[in-house]
Amino acid sequence: MSGPRTMLSVTAALCVALWSARGGAGEPKERLPGIAGAPASVSALRSPYDGDREATGAGRKLYAMHCASCHGERGEGWGNAPSLISDQVRHASPGALYWFVTNGDLRRGMPAWSRLSEPRRWQLVAFLRDLN
């Protein structure tokens, strides 16, 4: 049965699906900026380095190599780079921080650090948690 009624039903279903995916108002839903845009599923991720001073030290070195030029030596931020000692970072879960370090936000100037190994990204998270 591939008559006009079937085509109309399929078309209507597709329109409803597209309308829902776009938020119902014709505009696509945008991901929240920064760490707030992390999916809820990553919030439950736990750092393998919680309380590990050695990992925090390694994260400090990684931060100096990759992050300090934009965010400042102590994470105070400057120019377009936000402060990493802010409430948003302080209250973010380790999983959300890991997700953001991994994915970045290129539209706002934050590169993705997915090329760093998973342990190194977690070490950066350990250092960021220690900053706060």
pLDDT digits (tens, 9 = 90+) for 85-116: 999 999 999 999 999 999 999 988 999 999 99
pLDDT for 100: 96
**Token digits of residue 102:** 């991994």
| Spatial separation of the C-alpha atoms in residues 21 and 76, rounded to whole Å | 38
pTM: 0.73
Give the residue, 12 or 63, on which the prediction is more confident: 63
- Residue 8 pLDDT > 70, yes or no? no
Cβ–Cβ < 8 Å for 74, 131 = yes
For 66, what's the count of Cα atoms within 13 Å in the CB-facing half-sphere?
22
Query: Phi first, then psi: what are they for 116, rounded to 5°?
Result: -75, 145
Confidence of residue 3 (pLDDT cuts 50, 70, 90): low
Residues 6+ apart with CB under 8 A from 75: 63, 83, 84, 85, 89, 128, 131
Cβ–Cβ < 8 Å for 130, 123 = no
Give the residue, 28 or 47, on which the prediction is more confident: 47
pLDDT digits (tens, 9 = 90+) for 46-88: 999 999 999 999 999 999 999 999 999 999 998 889 999 999 9
